[in-house]
A and B are shown apart, each in its own frame.
Chain A
């Protein structure tokens, strides 16, 4: 690994840690959601294995291999694991756009086995907001919703769909 890559990993790693700290407080106080936020660490990947082969999964992503490759390629990445009562609720991966004006969410998957009705998507948007602001970006993008139901659900959170590109976006300031 190049020294510049290691330096970027260290610098952006500090911003990812800062993001978690800010959003952990705000999720409970402002969003009213009691969850624990971590990076995608070994505990998160281990917990993912519990639903990896669940028949109700909507996608067949290998987060262990995928995260490893994404981490290597994107030191500026956005990453998030959301936990609810020690159960992994969702995993997310993204990165700044080429010009750095937006943070794009390349992958998000919620656990197919969770029984709670606590909404995890707004928590993810909140974490993206913090990371975007720390990086000087002003927009969030959610790439490739897997179906119309999911797309409509995202739209209900203030995101606008762009058919040419198959993504949704919103500004981080009202």
Chain B
């Protein structure tokens, strides 16, 4: 039985990851559309818990939802 060989052409056609600038540009376009439709930004908005408490936590967050 012959072994399948990946040709040089196949190799060249593999999808390359986008440069970071392209990923950012694409996200900016996405965000602009959403942001234009969103309500005004809540004044002094914030996210996060108790800063002093979280700083003492270990890195134990899970990547699984």
Interface residues of A (CB under 8 A from B): 22-23, 26-27, 29-32, 54, 56-59, 61-62, 65-66, 69-70, 73, 97-99, 101-102, 104-112, 114, 117, 119-122, 125-126, 129-130, 133-134, 142-146, 149-150, 153-154, 156-158, 162, 164-165, 172-174
Contact = CB atoms under 8 A, between A and B. Distances in A.
Interface string B34-49: 1101111111111111
Interface residues of B, number: 37
A157 B35 contact: yes
A157 B38 contact: yes
Contacts of B49: 143-144
The 4 nearest A-B residue pairs measured at CB: A112-B44, A30-B28, A107-B48, A156-B38
Interface of B: 20-21, 23-32, 34-35, 37-49, 51-52, 54-55, 59-63, 65
A151 B39 CA distance: 12
Given A66-B52, A153-B41, A144 B47 contact: yes
Given A30-B32, A130-B20, A157-B31, 20 more contacts: A23-B24, A29-B28, A31-B32, A58-B46, A61-B46, A70-B55, A105-B47, A107-B46, A109-B45, A110-B46, A111-B44, A112-B44, A120-B41, A121-B45, A126-B28, A153-B41, A153-B45, A157-B35, A165-B65, A173-B23
